Amino acid sequence: MKSYAPKEVALKKILMPIERLAIAFSGGVDSTLLAAVAAKTLGPDNILLITAATRFVPEWELDEARELADVIGAKHTVVAVGVDNVSELTHNPPDRCYFCKKAVLRAIATQAKLQDFDVIADGSNADDKAGTRPGLKALKEFNVISPLADAGFTKKEVRELSKKMHLPTATKPAYACLATRIPYNELLKPERLKRIEKAEALLLPLFTHGVRVRDYLVSGKKVSLALARVEVPEPDMKRALAPEIRKQIIEKLHKAGYTYVTVDLEALRSGSMDI
């Protein structure tokens, strides 16, 4: 028996009493699995996938969310969330995620209510609940349920069940919002976010396990110059350092607007900016 099998049963038991379910849908591996299981359990007409569009989310990720919603066959809507007027986000504090999540969930809750969906769920898994994530506080404040976490699904098990269900996200790399690429307490200026979005869009085709471009400013005599710290997962490290690929990384990041380009030898790791 698969390790996730009892949890799959538990997940369906959590979902079955819900008549109409709105899901905060990023198109990542977790929310896609939740949406797919909910569609099968409740019927696609009884779920609503809501994707939040902020300046922290690249356009290609929104496009992927739309495509995945079509695969699942559920109703999908994208809501624009203005974060520029959230004063707590202006200077990018360490608890930035909490304030951002509040703005996102407020918009999702409003949209859900407009379409008569009273229950909101997100794709947090058991590993997320075990970590330090300021955004989890916002979930509680908006009464958002996390069925995957409540059923005990780890990230590994989410991928296993996604593979069993033939979901295209089964091997999709984990992703995080663009704000996580900028050091805390530095302004989240639109031009920096756009530079990161462009840089990662250029590099993603080179690697199979994902990539992060951490954005730093180096003060010169008259201007601040942009430095990129590229993180790739350990399986892609050898490829990243190969002469031809290294040359492409440099060329693409110069094109994106970076003066200096580095590759982090410690490889990609979640929360590497949390210092």
144 is a domain residue: yes
Cross-sheet strand order for the sheet of 224-231:
212-219, 224-231, 260-263
272 is a domain residue: no
Q: What is the pLDDT of residue 132?
A: 58
Q: 97 and 53 share a domain?
A: yes
Q: 195 and 252 share a domain?
A: yes
CATH at residue 203: 3.30.300
Whole-model pTM?
0.91
CATH at residue 16: 3.40.50.620
Residues 6+ apart with CB under 8 A from 158: 29, 30, 33, 125, 148
48 is a domain residue: yes
269 is a domain residue: no
240 is a domain residue: yes
Q: What is the pLDDT of residue 216?
A: 97
Residues 6+ apart with CB under 8 A from 58: 178, 197, 200, 201
Q: What is the pLDDT of residue 131?
A: 57
Ranges of residues in the chain with a pLDDT under 70 are 1, 130-132, 220-221, 275
Q: 126 and 155 share a domain?
A: yes
Answer with the one of 164, 192, 208 that is the final residue of a domain.
Answer: 164
Range of the domain at 195: 178-263
275 is a domain residue: no
Q: 16 and 151 share a domain?
A: yes
